[in-house]
Structure 1
Amino acid sequence: MPCKVHLVAGHKFQATLLTSLTFCSHCDGFIYGFGKQGYQCKGSYRVVHKRCHSEVENQCKLMEKDSPSESNDERDGQVTHNFAAHTYFKPTFCNHCGSLMTGVIHQGLKCKDCGINVHKKCDKFISHGCNQRS
């Protein structure tokens, strides 16, 4: 029997079994428990607590990909992230979906300007407002 899909702010959340350490992308709390512990968006891969899925307010980036393309350097006056492949030497979690970066080398991407860490599959869902370090 397929799992029920919950539509919230354009996200298509579905209950999921988390097989690695994961933090909620809404409240930043650790997701734990037995069975299907959290809800994951089928489009943007965001993972949230079951109790947090109905509180998500920001729109799913999957819905925005049909909008007209914008400049690669600026969107709404904000600077885009400068991502590069990165090898992590200590446990690091994705700033988008909250899951642990796994692998031996080049586990994810790190912004050279603000230091945000994301999976390669999650980079297209990150907002384009880079908070560059001074």
Structure 2
Amino acid sequence: MKTIIKELLKELTLNGKKPFQYKILAKADDKLGISDSVSLTNLLMQWHKKIKRGFPFAQYQNDHLQLSELMQAKYKILFENCPELSELYELKNDKIYFNSSLTNEEKQEILDYVDENYKIVRHSYGRRS
């Protein structure tokens, strides 16, 4: 795996956790705000997860991540402010794909890395009884 991809994956899988000094995602965090940046990168990482709450996580069964119109605009800002993302992904209109230059082995290596290193954090909102 290329060094830049490994460093980017490290930041993407740890995004939103404190304390962590971002280097690659710093400009995007500044432009979008930490909340939007974390939400966008979490969605990317969740797309790669194999299991979610004990059930197979179906999103990666697609070869792309489908975006709403609002998400499309935010991802455009993310990609503009973090050009290193183009090493991993291609943003095409309302979809995100793996970079077409990646081999199937590299894609699998990325999927395995995310599955091992990214933990989905479940948040509960509402009243407690």
TM-score after normalising by structure 2: 0.25
- Give the structure with higher Rg (CA): 1
Greater fraction helix? 2
Greater fraction strand? 1
TM-score after normalising by structure 1: 0.24
